[in-house]
A = this chain, B = another copy of it.
Amino acid sequence: MIQIAVMGYGTVGSGVVEVIEKNKEEINKKSGEAINIKYILDLRDFPGDPYADKVVHDVEQILNDPEVKIICETMGGLKPAYDFTKRALLLGKSVCTSNKELVAVHGPELIQIAHENKCNYLFEASVGGGIPIIRPLNYSLTAEKIDAITGILNGTTNYILSKMEKEGADFDDVLKEAQEKGYAEKNPEADVEGYDACRKIAILSSLMCGKNVKYQDIYTEGITQITAVDFIYAKAMGKTIKLLAQSKEEEGAFFAMVAPFMIGREHPLSMVNDVFNAVCVHGNMLGESMYYGRGAGKLPTASAVVSDVVDCARHIGKVIMCFWDQGDVTLTGIEQASRRFFVRVAGENERKAMETFQSIHVVEADVPGEFAFVTELMTEKEFNEKAEKTGIISRIRIE
């Protein structure tokens, strides 16, 4: 029997307990030994809960118990999760986490500590909720040189954009509805400004590079400026608008960014709607592969944490392969990245736009008083100069 502890009995933590209870048979078979939840750490008490007697309030009880081999960290946030995780790993206890912030900030350090102490720090649930993506990157695509990762990594923004497209509604209205339904937080900043997706692509980018991509270095733009009118144009162009988190290697230069993009209907990510997430991985031998599923939610996320528990259970005392060194990657600024842009200008600026951008593709749509077009391929820098000269209403990058 392998004794484990769950730190944080909130949504994901209680999901972990539920998954382990419900799928006991499968999990114990795959683990090679029975998994038993010995402690649940939380500040609160849970009278009446079937696991009430496992709840402890002092982390020392868990850390000091040599029987506990694996810990699920489902507390979230940096404090005290970082301290608890580090101390557990130093004691040789493996930690499985859904805490994307902690992984994005301290991932490589914690992985190294784990490996030095012959245990593991696993984080499948930190990106893409229940979608297996960390393990495929680490164990499956091992014969590939991965040169691009592009994902829809945030369920809230994808729900909002899907709804805006379907109903022709504006951002604020859909956000309000999403908040009422519990699909968006009261303070939605982390989602709608792209910060959540930024943490996640930082993790995926680091695994792609084998070195550390700091999330602070990633250009991040949210969806708050996207309007119902943008979707009218997108529809006219046979495209949709998605918040993409992207990481690319081009001739030794690394680019990473989060921003809304227009993508064509033939792009596999275009059909990822509502709260679903997906990650496209491009390898030099395999070409494009995609991983799709529920990017959030109690049970999908918990299932990913428990899959890490199974992996740890099968590797007690052994290190599981993970290449994410502490050295930082120097990202190339996105102003050097080339792409096409969809641009809206006021009707009276049509001539100026044509003079400045020269070779453009006009977009016909039923929007009075505006002139819209798609530029040729150009760098962000070049685009910004021309856009400033012209005076534009808005622009959306094209993938």
Contact = CB atoms under 8 A, between A and B. Distances in A.
B132 A23 contact: no
Nearest to A274: B266
Interface string A298-333: 011011111101110010000001010000000000
Contact of A271 (B131, B144, B268): B268
A145 B26 contact: yes
Interface string A2-45: 00000000000000000110110011011110000000000000
Interface residues of A, number: 56
A307 B26 contact: no
A23 B294 contact: no
A362 interface: no
A253 interface: no
Nearest to A35: B143
Interface stretch (A195-203, A226-234, A282-290): A282-290
Contacts of A284: 22-23
Interface stretch (A133-141, A215-223, A239-247, A366-374): A133-141
B300 A287 contact: yes
B303 A22 contact: no
A293 interface: yes
Interface string A136-155: 10011111110000000000
12 contacts: A19-B143, A31-B142, A32-B321, A130-B287, A132-B136, A132-B289, A139-B139, A142-B306, A142-B311, A271-B271, A285-B302, A290-B291
Interface of A: 19-20, 22-23, 26-27, 29-32, 124, 130-132, 135-136, 139-145, 210, 266, 268, 270-271, 273, 278, 283-294, 299-300, 302-307, 309-311, 314, 321, 323
